[in-house]
Amino acid sequence: MHSPTDSDEFDPPKQSLSGKIAGAIERFCIVGARVSIPVFVPVGGVFIVYLIGGYALIALDVWMPSYEFLSLAGDIYFAWLGFLSGLVISFGTGSLIGLAFLTEGEGRIHNEVSILTSFIGFGFGGGLIRMTYSTVLTTLL
């Protein structure tokens, strides 16, 4: 006769609260890293087209905007596109940083170069947000 604790079925170990939180953070970082590139392509593309196309149209005297083109305070399109680009860059690189530190040296994303470039990208995205947030907030209010 077997006691109730000697069953043939395998009981998986219970995960601690910190393990569940780390798993949720890891899933969030994976989704963030995967989503940021497809989101950045259209946002960054529109930003580049606005910069180059606007400059070319102004140089050819085809377009004369009523505002100062590429001004942080006056050009709301430039400010919004820069702000959105900064948000996407910061979200994506922040997710990569989180993944690199959660893997504890395992996997292909945890090396010094990837962490360094992720921090550089995170700083660049944060700088874009910092430079443009006042104009973006002004347009919202």
pLDDT at 4: 58
* 29 pLDDT more than 80: yes
* 101 pLDDT more than 90: no
pLDDT band at 108 (very low <50, low <70, confident <90, very high): low
pLDDT at 16: 86
Task: Give the whole-angstrom CA distance, residue 109 versus residue 131.
Answer: 30
* 45 pLDDT more than 70: yes
Mean pLDDT of the chain: 87
pLDDT at 104: 67
* 62 pLDDT more than 80: yes
Within 13 Å of residue 40, how many CA atoms lie on the same side as its CB?
A: 17
